[in-house]
Homo-oligomer: A and B are copies of this chain.
Amino acid sequence: MQISRYTDYAYRVLMYLAINDQHRVTMVEIAEFYGISREHLRKVVHRLASLKYIHTYTGKGGGMELSETLENINLGQVFLEFEGRNSLIDCQQTHCPLRTSCDLNRIFYKAQDAFLNEISQYTLQDVLHNSVMVNKLMNT
């Protein structure tokens, strides 16, 4: 079981912005830090901006920064917005003959609820408490 790259990158962008809150951050900077493609980041950044997690600025001195405090960015909310509630098993694509009489997807749906309830107890603050502390110490 793995989450999509799209969701993974959303968390990574948020984490990078949380740690680097002293300046506006560019997409190039994030791509280089994680060693990932700028193309893949673009869609994620656009979505984060449209969901108002980040502010983006164009022109000289442009870049992006978080528009929410770390404790206001809920991991479960981000998961729902990026990963969504896809079926864990795709009964439709393969036209599974059992799809009308099999309860597997309903059970997996309940299990996803349990998963979401758990991560919804945490915010970006909880994910990065070490990094943020280290960073604050380095900058004081």
Contacts and interface: CB of A to CB of B under 8 A. Distances in A.
B12 A101 contact: no
A11 interface: yes
A122 interface: yes
Interface string A51-74: 000000000000000000000000
A36 interface: yes
Given A118-B114, A127-B103, A97 B34 contact: yes
B130 A103 contact: yes
A2 interface: yes
Interface of A: 1-4, 8, 11-12, 15, 19, 33-36, 75, 83, 86-90, 94-98, 101-104, 107-108, 110-119, 122, 126-131, 134
